[in-house]
Amino acid sequence: MSRTTTSAAEVRGVPPRVRRPSLLTLVIVLVVGGLLAHGWTQGAAVRPDSLATGVFRLGEFLSDAVPPDTDRLAPILKSLLVTVEMALLGTIIGVILSLPLAVLAARNTTPHRSLYALSRGVITVSRTIPDLVWGLIFVIAVGLGPEAGVLAIAVDVMGFCGRFFAESIEDIDPGRLEGLRALGAPRFGVLVGGVIPACTPSFVTTSMFALESSARSSVVLGLVGAGGIGIELATSMTLLRYDEAATIILAILAVVVVFERVSAAIRRRVLGGAEQR
């Protein structure tokens, strides 16, 4: 005579693979559903009539923008050069600031817990506040112009690179650092002889990603008065000079593509060299 065992799930009539959702899951579903319903009723959703009107207006914009106007090409290129300089300088400053911050924010290299908590807090604040908000803050602090844009990019890059640099340092083989400490290497010697060589490929690739992001951010920061080509674009759009705006947009596109290609080439070279070693 055979016995049949019945699971608790079968007794309750619930398939074994189905689990009752937790209270947190239900709360998240209700909150998301409420936000979607509120957005739909308040006009945040894309309606078919507004979408059709938008397509028509976009067609008008394109008809006015073609062909692009190159009468002011010289000042546009000058502003574009300022934008490139903002991205480069802001990224370099941010990467330099993020290196000691990452050392303090990594558990295996920080000298004290309080410094670890403080550096992690600085990274979190600089990362969570959007670069556009940083731009507004520095415009108030130092005034209109590229200086505010450079500072905004530097703070944003510091938070971005600081986080990933710290994670890269924490992923180092503990035996590598312990071996140097066992040989009597000081803290600075451990950093130079163990941390930097092991993390250089990761540091370079992260910095290149930050540079790509800075190239795009430097354009947007100009819209709030932080210097660069963004001011020219905002002026052209406000004055309905769509043909001039088209020239600026094409120039921005070219610069961003160049940044991405150069960044990708450097990453491939660095990663290829690291794999060969």
CA atoms in the 13 A half-sphere facing the CB of 159: 19
CATH of the domain at 167: 1.10.3720.10
Q: Give the tens place of pLDDT for each residue, 52-105.
A: 777 778 887 788 778 888 888 888 888 889 999 999 999 999 999 999 999 899
Confidence (pLDDT) at 121: 93
- Residue for token pair 């094409």: 250
Q: Give the tens place of pLDDT for each residue, 126-137.
A: 989 988 899 999
**Peptide bond between residue 67 and the one before it cis (omega within 30 degrees of 0):** yes
**Is the Cα torsion angle 155, 161, 167, 170 positive or negative in sign?**
negative
Output the pTM of the full model.
0.78
The answer to whether residues 137 and 124 touch, using CB atoms and an 8 Å cutoff, is no
The answer to whether residues 168 and 202 touch, using CB atoms and an 8 Å cutoff, is yes
Any domain includes 264? yes
Q: Which long-range contacts (CB under 8 A, 24 or more apart) does 15-24 make?
A: none
User: 119 burial class (0-12, 13-18, 19+ CB within 10 angstroms)?
Assistant: buried
Full residue range of the structural domain in which residue 172 is found: 72-276
Q: Give the tens place of pLDDT for each residue, 219-270.
A: 888 888 877 888 888 888 888 888 888 898 898 899 889 888 888 888 888 7
Percent of the chain scoring above 90 in pLDDT: 21
Structure token digits, residue 39: 């957005």
Q: Using the predicted structure, report yes or no on whether residue 10 has a pLDDT greater than 90.
A: no
Q: Using the predicted structure, report yes or no on whether residue 2 has a pLDDT greater than 50.
A: no
Cα distance between residue 7 and residue 146, in whole Å: 69
The answer to whether residues 102 and 165 touch, using CB atoms and an 8 Å cutoff, is yes
Any domain includes 45? no
Confidence (pLDDT) at 17: 62
Any domain includes 54? no
The total number of structural domains that make up the chain: 1
- Residue for token pair 């150069």: 262
From 136, 131, 140, select the one nearest 214 (Cα to Cα): 131
Any domain includes 60? no
Mean residue pLDDT across the chain = 82
Structure token digits, residue 57: 């207006």
From 212, 200, 221, 222, select the one nearest 269 (Cα to Cα): 200
| Of 230 and 123, more confident | 123
Any domain includes 120? yes
Maximum Cα–Cα distance for the chain, whole Å?
A: 96
Any domain includes 244? yes
| Of 120 and 227, more confident | 120
Any domain includes 15? no
Cα distance between residue 230 and residue 248, in whole Å: 9
The answer to whether residues 263 and 211 touch, using CB atoms and an 8 Å cutoff, is yes
Confidence (pLDDT) at 218: 87
